[in-house]
Structure 1
Amino acid sequence: MNPVYIKEVVLHTINVSLKSPFTTSFGTIKTKEVCIVEIIDESGLSGWGETVTSDEPYYNEETTQTARYILKDFLIPKLIKKEIAHPKEVKQLLSFVRRHQIAKAAIETAVWDVFSKKNNKPLYEVLGGIRKKIAVGKSIGIQNTPEELVSKVAQYVNEGFQKIKVKIAPGADIEFIKKVRDSFPDINLMADANSAYTLEDIEHLKQLDQYNLIMIEQPLAHDDIIDHSNLQKEMSTPICLDESIHTYEDARKAIDLGSCKIINIKIGRVGGLQESIRIHDLCKENNIPVWCGGMLETGVGRSHNLHMTTLSNFTIPGDTAPSSHYWHEDIITHDIVMDRGYISIPEGIGIGSEVCRKSLKERLIQSESFISDYSVHPIPS
């Protein structure tokens, strides 16, 4: 395989607006800043990554501003002028920075993209994927009434989505799920709590068992695996962990403790594609199915999700809805579209698309370029 020599890194900060507000237990998102990472190798090829951050530190401690700072002052100086024999090396190269997983993932995924292009292969082949198309699920934010939620679900079921995820929170949970299940007794239905409950709510949460959910995602604290183990013992509904899993070691301990029966792998949350693969392989060895959650990505991040989901243990449809469900216009040249509940993986090299420079410019806040001898802080060797 041909190595990549990183000649330049460009950070493009853009502002994007959702077609409609998206509400979770954290709050409501209407717009967000995103940092698009462009890595340029010595032959002029560009690889693309994305900070799948929010503007506020509600999902985790990172924001777009903190991710950009970590990229500029620590991560880029470590990779600039480096020859990368394989993208799996990047995880170790960046390990001197603790956590900041989303910032790491943004630049690591860009390396995977440019490496795949350098070797004239689609990303999924380099990752070891086995599928040419993937099943697609749809995530629905918290609605004002159960009736509004049922209407949304009906729309997406009719469009062919293979799984429906419903965001829940105290006061918008049991009755909402009941209405959906009564209306759609056979669909793949799950609830996502985004850490909105505690063990004091155990009897309340156990009411969900009667609705044949494929999972309840992250009902308890964002950094917990102990209480989730206790809750899983009391519930027949499988628990899926999301926010609690940042690394392979987190996943290993959660599996050992019986804290979950399913794991949601988000590339940004775990620090990149290499760690995603490691967690995927661990879960496969332990008969724990995985799926890929969404972070309201642009087409850059969503494309990386699609390629990762071709790995064999991604057996549950992910939150990989087409771009048109979120953005009036995406920033990539290859639109992500769904056909009867499935998305075909682009066969082009890398992620199968490039960033549209015109779309990028229309949303641009600033671009910053870093080349050759760039350095800010002393970097551990």
Structure 2
Amino acid sequence: MIIRDVIIRKLEMTMKNSFSTSFGTMKTRQFLIIEVVDEKGNKGYGEGVAFSIPWYTEETTETSLHMIRDFLVPMLKGKTIQHPDEVNEIFKSIRKNNMAKAAVECAVWDCWAKRQGLTLAEAIGGKKEKIDVGISIGLQADFETLTERINQSLKSGFKRIKVKIKPGHDIMLLSQIRERFPEVPLMADANSAYTLDDLELLKQLDQFNLTMIEQPLASDDIVDHATLQQQIQTPICLDESILSAEDARRAIQLGSCRVINVKIGRVGGMTEAKKIHDVCQRAGIPVWCGGMLEAGIGRAHNIALTTLPNFAFPGDTAGSNSYWERDIISPEVIVQDGTIMVSKLNGMGYDVDLSEVDHHTTRRIEIKL
């Protein structure tokens, strides 16, 4: 496969509901869509999931666009790609910038799967015909609003509820949730809001029978998390700390976690996500697929990834209508009774609605290779 054309689109879409974490609040979502076209005219799509502000990783929408346009796409020129795994190797000389790499690599994966007559799930070795999904609920203005969101999510059949916590908005909140919803599979996401100075507070999490506590300590830490995991019964799930399969191996060796969240964008693409899955599977550490408030293309890639066997917990891949009035794919991602049926169409399994894409596009760059 030879990539002949690459189109970079920057989009901005308004979310149905504001989403708040310990970092801040988001109402509009900027992101990139990468379209690659091979020498036979096959098209593949990837989604750049960096935020407009570098509060999750150091990347932003604009830095990703710069890296893709000026470094990553030129590295594909003249290359014959036999398998998408090769893109991971081609990009290895570029340090980090994982979300930029993932956007391009996922587009190549989609194009290659279509070229081979495979679903993306089949192309990566996935077997599941449907996946279980949970939902991530951001910080809310008050407990009644949160309760309403949880009730709506449970009525929709979501298999797991994730809530955001931060200092001053944690133990009392979880206590109230558990009082109202004693049996609901519940996890809490701290987005690195705590330190080991909060050890006594974090020990109190054990009373809530949480599925896991996600990334309680620093975003680049695996040492202090190992200390914390020794002190609490609640399983720690690492998110921001895991950027590669090597990071996963080290964290497991240190005992830093009992679960790992895999995000395609955070780890640099589908190939590295598969490697992390395999490392964790060999070690008996379950994984699950996190969300980055993706539009439909990123959501479709997440569905494919979750068909791998070691994805043991429901992921954050909720349906399109949980976040958008209208998504940019057709059909939209639909959740029924807490599950998503894996599309049997080739590639990522969904058509891109280019008219809807154009409606939200604020910048378009076409590169001929």
With normalisation by structure 2, the TM-score equals 0.99
Which residue of 2 is the match for residue 108 of structure 1? 105
In the TM superposition, residue 158 of structure 1 has moved relative to its aligned partner by 1.4
Q: Secondary structure at the match of 1:84?
A: coil
In the TM superposition, residue 19 of structure 1 has moved relative to its aligned partner by 0.6
* Paired residue type of 1:197: Y
Partners of 1:146 and 1:239 in 2: how far apart?
A: 25
Match of 2:171 among 150, 169, 174: 174
Partners of 1:36 and 1:207 in 2: how far apart?
A: 42
* Structure 1: runs of 5+ lacking an equivalent: 373-381
Q: Secondary structure at the match of 1:67?
A: helix
Match of 1:193 among 190, 194, 219: 190
Partners of 2:187 and 2:220 in 1: how far apart?
A: 21
In the TM superposition, residue 31 of structure 1 has moved relative to its aligned partner by 0.7
% identical equivalent positions: 49
1:53 aligns with 2:50: yes
In the TM superposition, residue 96 of structure 1 has moved relative to its aligned partner by 0.8
Deviation readout 1:202-250 (Å, 9 max, x if unpaired): 1001111001000000000000000000000000000000000001111
Which residue of 2 is the match for residue 32 of structure 1? 29
In the TM superposition, residue 153 of structure 1 has moved relative to its aligned partner by 1.1
Work out whether residues 146 and 175 of structure 1, in 8 Å CA contact, stay in contact via their aligned partners in 2: no
In the TM superposition, residue 290 of structure 1 has moved relative to its aligned partner by 0.2
In the TM superposition, residue 148 of structure 1 has moved relative to its aligned partner by 2.5
Work out whether residues 8 and 80 of structure 1, in 8 Å CA contact, stay in contact via their aligned partners in 2: no
Deviation readout 1:15-64 (Å, 9 max, x if unpaired): 11101100000000111221100000111111000110110000000000
Question: After the TM superposition, which parts of structure 1 deviate over 4 Å for at least 4 consecutive aligned residues?
Answer: none
Q: Which moved more, 1:326-335 or 1:295-304?
A: 326-335
* Paired residue type of 1:152: R
Partners of 2:132 and 2:54 in 1: how far apart?
A: 31
Which residue of 2 is the match for residue 378 of structure 1? none
Q: Secondary structure at the match of 2:242?
A: coil
Deviation readout 1:351-374 (Å, 9 max, x if unpaired): 0112111101111112111112xx
Match of 1:11 among 8, 11, 36: 8
Please provide the CA RMSD for this pair: 0.8
In the TM superposition, residue 179 of structure 1 has moved relative to its aligned partner by 1.1
Partners of 1:189 and 1:33 in 2: how far apart?
A: 29
Q: Secondary structure at the match of 1:83?
A: coil
Deviation readout 1:319-369 (Å, 9 max, x if unpaired): 000010001110112210011110001110000112111101111112111
Which residue of 2 is the match for residue 162 of structure 1? 159
In the TM superposition, residue 192 of structure 1 has moved relative to its aligned partner by 0.2
Deviation readout 1:58-117 (Å, 9 max, x if unpaired): 000000000000001100000133221000111010001000000000000000000000
Q: Size of the alignment, in residue pairs? A: 369
Which residue of 2 is the match for residue 121 of structure 1? 118
Q: Secondary structure at the match of 1:134?
A: strand
Paired residues for 1:128-277 under 5 Å: 128-277=125-274
* Structure 2: runs of 5+ lacking an equivalent: none
Match of 2:66 among 54, 69, 94: 69
Partners of 1:118 and 1:79 in 2: how far apart?
A: 18
